[in-house]
Chain A
Amino acid sequence: MAFAGRNGSGKTTLLRIAARLARPSSGAVNFLNGSGEKFATPPPAGFVAHATMVYDELTAEENLLLFARLQGIAKPAARTERLLGEVGLMDRRNSLVRTFSRGMRQRVAIARALLSEPPVVLLDEPTTGLDPQGARWFAQTVRQLRDSGRTILMSLHGESEVSSLATRAIRLDAGAVVADTRTGANFRSILAFANA
């Protein structure tokens, strides 16, 4: 599901509420299971934002180990190693994150968000600042996540390779849904909205 809209339309706020990082002033975010029933406890969500949410002063491996241990993941070292391999950072595992390019940092961010194998992944303008190669890698990763059955909510700033993966497009304005579609001509116009 992709959210589009002007700056300040509420995309980030919505995703932060969904991640339970912020409280809504009214309303609620509910996650439904495959049968349309509400989860009693919201499922854990992996959150990737424009800010990397990892420590520059730690290495890629130290960052992932830290968050894996905090989340109580069994065999954190093995999980960290697997994810570092998946995001293509195995050879830089012992380098400090502050020495990484924007694209590499975002790979660490993705790995951090996927540590607990969350069923829901929230992406807040994740491709901002990525070069075309980085954006392509990111789109491939999102495709893999989607194909593995995860629910993905992403806010986007214009049409991109990542936005083409969306199956539902929502346009927000001043905190309200002004358009919501799954198909049709309107679909592309919503996703291209920020560039319009």
Chain B
Amino acid sequence: MALLSNTAVLLGKELRTEFRSRELLTTTVVFILIVIVLFSFTFEPTSDESRRFGPGLLWLAFLFAASLMLQPCFLREQNNDTLSALRLSVSDPFAIFLPKLAANTLFLLLTELFLLPFFAMMYNVPVVGVLHWLVLVFVLGSLGISIAGTALSAISAQARMRELLLPLLMLPLLTPILVASTEVTKGLLDRAPYVQWKGIGFLAIFDMVFLTALWLFGEYLLEE
């Protein structure tokens, strides 16, 4: 019960500070928009070519966006040592992680959903018919990226070369989830769309395993 109420309180704080500064959302939306527009010039956005390159490009842009979002996640807690204040205030350290990964997932999802119409328009790919499946992949993929990324952000925030360390740790760990997300998205953007259940199952299992690991070992990630 305390976990849920603490999570709600801290999620409220994360959302309030972000919507007050709009620091992360603005940066990432502009960044992904630039990537999508730039790539639309590099190859002919005919439907076939877009279907071939689109999914990979989309998830690559999401990965970069996630890197931008996850970097300051725990770094901001270091500025005034608010992490110590949080650790002194909550009994379960998972209550510190849960709102952060929920906020990261939400911000990433908002960015993805905001940019999907631009992607569909510029790359001439119809998405309306498979929108609900795409949302499912975005949710599972973003959740996986956020869980692993939030944990790694906690580790890297305490390191000396923190800006370099996070992408270095994150990229290899996220490769399986990116491959699965890209594969499922590719199937959904196909001329004859299909749902790749194996990929969706993999994403769900990845999320559950990493969430459980974070719940069990999160305490050690916050220790000095």
Beta-carbon contact of A66 and B80 below 8 Å: no
- Determine the main DSSP class of A at the interface with B: loop
Question: Any chain A CB within 8 A of the CB of B10?
Answer: yes
Beta-carbon contact of A21 and B13 below 8 Å: no
In the complex, chain A residues 31-60 whose Cβ is within 8 Å of any chain B Cβ: 45, 47, 49, 51-58
Residues of B within 8 A of A (CB): 2, 5-6, 9-10, 13, 16-17, 20-21, 79-82, 84-90, 95, 223-224
In this complex, the interface size class of chain A, counting residues with CB under 8 Å from chain B, is 20 to 34
Complex CA gap A153/B13 in Å reads: 31
Complex interface: chain A residues within 8 A of B95 (CB) = 70
Complex interface: chain A residues within 8 A of B81 (CB) = 49, 51-53
Task: Identify which of B2, B85, B90, B224 gathers the most chain A CB atoms within 10 Å of its CB.
Answer: B85
Complex interface: chain B residues within 8 A of A71 (CB) = 89
Task: Identify which of B10, B21, B89 gathers the most chain A CB atoms within 10 Å of its CB.
Answer: B89
Complex interface: chain A residues within 8 A of B224 (CB) = 16, 21-22
Given known contacts A66-B13, A72-B2, is B90 in contact with A51 (CB within 8 Å)? no
Q: Which 7 A-B pairs have the closest CB atoms?
A: A51-B81, A53-B85, A70-B89, A57-B17, A69-B9, A22-B224, A52-B80
Complex CA gap A86/B87 in Å reads: 25
Complex interface: chain B residues within 8 A of A70 (CB) = 6, 9-10, 86, 89-90, 95
Complex interface: chain B residues within 8 A of A66 (CB) = 9-10, 13
Quick one: CB contact mask for A67-86 with B, threshold 8 Å, 1 for yes? 10111100000000000000
Give me 19 other A-B pairs in contact (C-beta within 8 A), A70-B9, A72-B2 excluded: A16-B224, A19-B84, A21-B224, A23-B223, A49-B81, A49-B84, A51-B80, A53-B81, A54-B82, A56-B79, A56-B80, A57-B20, A66-B10, A69-B9, A70-B6, A70-B10, A70-B89, A71-B89, A72-B5
